[in-house]
Amino acid sequence: DTGVSQDPRHKITKRGQNVTFRCDPISEHNRLYWYRQTLGQGPEFLTYFQNEAQLEKSRLLSDRFSAERPKGSFSTLEIQRTEQGDSAMYLCASSPTVSGVYNEQFFGPGTRLTVL
Amino acid sequence: DAKTTQPNSMESNEEEPVHLPCNHSTISGTDYIHWYRQLPSQGPEYVIHGLTSNVNNRMASLAIAEDRKSSTLILHRATLRDAAVYYCIRFYGQNFVFGPGTRLSVLP
């Protein structure tokens, strides 16, 4: 399967612990997005990368959150000192950038985080 | 506000057409309208997009109002596999702004 993959699929942690999620985009896609989705809501944009450059961050991305895409391939999203309010599904998506063509976003299955 | 407005839920019978409405009254002239859907326990997936004229693809049709303040996603024959949350999305800045979507139930 050459779709977007995310690891782990589920993570349970205790409040105050740090967690890290990984996203592997479709190989030829140079844009990578992170979203957060809480129950009953649509995904909320967190940040996106063009290759290795982080081009935009939402104000939802507090200083406890950090994302990297060191070689323009896979990306990691780290949450430090987790809080119960961080419990959510974290979705990753990727898209190509082809000028003049609509760039559909391809989503991964998500990582469900539960903070106890 | 960049978010769109959709009904919270809709119901359809299997093999009947479904019309899912969306209001996007603050849309600018160059914003595309995008529709994605999210099946249970999966990430969203692309359905269709358009700018001004009506669009068709193998999954659905998109009817865009002449003033572009609203649009309708049309599933011509709903199947049980079409039960999902359907999101009408604006592309704001460089990113999608999702609302809560419409939860479509398909009855056998």
Q: Would you state the structure tokens that stand for residue A98, as one six-digit string?
A: 């082809």
Q: What is the pLDDT of residues A6-64, one digit of tens each?
A: 999 999 999 999 999 999 999 989 999 999 999 989 999 999 999 999 988 888 888 99
Closest-CA residue of B relative to A90 is B43
What does the pLDDT read at residue B93? 67
Q: Report the distance separating Cα A85 and Cα A38, nearest Å.
A: 10
Check residues B50 and A75 and name the one with the higher pLDDT. A75
Q: According to the model, what pLDDT value does residue A102 have?
A: 66
pLDDT value of residue B91 = 73
What are B74-83's pLDDT values in tens digits? Answer: 999 999 999 9
Question: What is the pLDDT, as a whole number, of residue A61?
Answer: 83
CA distance B86 to B105: 11
The C-alpha atoms of residue A33 and residue A25 are separated, in whole angstroms, by 9
Set of chain A residues whose Cβ sits within 8 Å of the Cβ of B42: 107, 109
Of the candidates A40, A48, A107, which has its C-beta nearest B44's C-beta?
A107
Distance from CA of B97 to the nearest CA of A (A): 7
pLDDT for the residue numbered A100 = 59
Closest CA to A104 of A113, A112, A94: A94
Is B14 in contact with B80 (CB distance < 8 Å)? Answer: yes
State residue B52's pLDDT score: 85
pLDDT of residue A67: 96
| Average confidence (pLDDT) over B81-93 | 88
Q: Which pLDDT tens digit goes with each residue over A84-100? A: 999 999 999 999 876 65
Written as one letter, the residue type at A96 is P
Looking at residue B47, what is its pLDDT?
95
On the question of pLDDT at B30 being above 90, the answer is no
Sequence-separated (6 or more) residues with CB below 8 Å from residue A103: A31, A95, A96, A97
- Note the pLDDT of residue B51: 87
Say yes or no for a CB contact (<8 Å) between B94 and A108: no
Q: Is B80 helix (H, G, I), strand (E, B) or coil?
A: helix
